[in-house]
Structure 1
Amino acid sequence: MKRVTTAILSLSLILGASVVSPSSIDAAAKSYKNCTELNKDYKGGVAKDSKVTNKGGKTKNTPHVSADLYNANKSKDRDKDGIACEK
């Protein structure tokens, strides 16, 4: 009986640790001070979803798609096209 209990506890610890690993937890979306700071991490800016298109014309880089990150930096989307700080 003690072996069964030990095995169950061990298994639950292993499964619990794998479910709550740092890679599976989403980090809070960072709010950047300005577009220069945002573009250091995301060269093409941040899009709210993959279906948005740039109103400002041709850009050099493809934007990173993240609704949470876009919402945290929504004020930096000057042309309101769904892409903040596009380059």
Structure 2
Amino acid sequence: MKKMAIICSAILLTLIFAAGNISVEAKSEKVVTYKNCTELNKVYKGGLARAANVKNKGGKTKYTPFVSQALYDANKKMDRDKDSIACER
């Protein structure tokens, strides 16, 4: 009986800990709107891409863009050539 209580409490603690980690991960991505490409490129050197499969229309770039749909949507106004990559470098 004692073993069963210990096992049940261990499982319960594991589930509580796992649920706590899920909520922390979901809140970790903040959506920030930058005022210009210079500010955005200080944080993301290659710019922001809406999806991983988008292609750059503006020519050769030096850096790979960071992929985040939420960040791209918040900073969409800075995508001048409308290729789904904002502030590519």
Shorter-chain TM-score range: 0.7 to 0.9
| Partner residue in 2 for 1:18 | 18
Residue 72 of structure 1: aligned partner: 74
Show structure 1 runs of 5+ residues with no match: none
Q: Is 1:37 paired with 2:39?
A: yes
| Structure 2: gaps of 5 or more residues | none
Name the amino acid aligned to 1:73.
N
* Residue 8 (structure 1) shift: 5.0
For residues 13 and 33 of structure 2, the distance between their equivalents in structure 1, rounded to whole angstroms, comes to 35
2-structure distance, mates of 1:14, 1:72: 37
Root-mean-square deviation over aligned CA pairs: 2.1
Residues matched between the structures, number: 85
- Corresponding letter in the other structure for 2:63: N
Cα 1:12–1:31 shift into 2, 3 Å: farther
C-alpha displacement of 1:78:
0.8
Q: What secondary structure does 2:39 align onto?
A: helix
More helix by share: 2
TM-score normalised by the chain length of structure 1? 0.78
CA distance in 2, matches of 1:58, 1:78: 16
State the identity %: 51
What one-letter code is carried by the residue in structure 1 that aligns with 2:36?
N
The separation in 1 between residues aligned to 2:12 and 2:74, in whole angstroms, is 36
State TM-score, norm by structure 2: 0.77
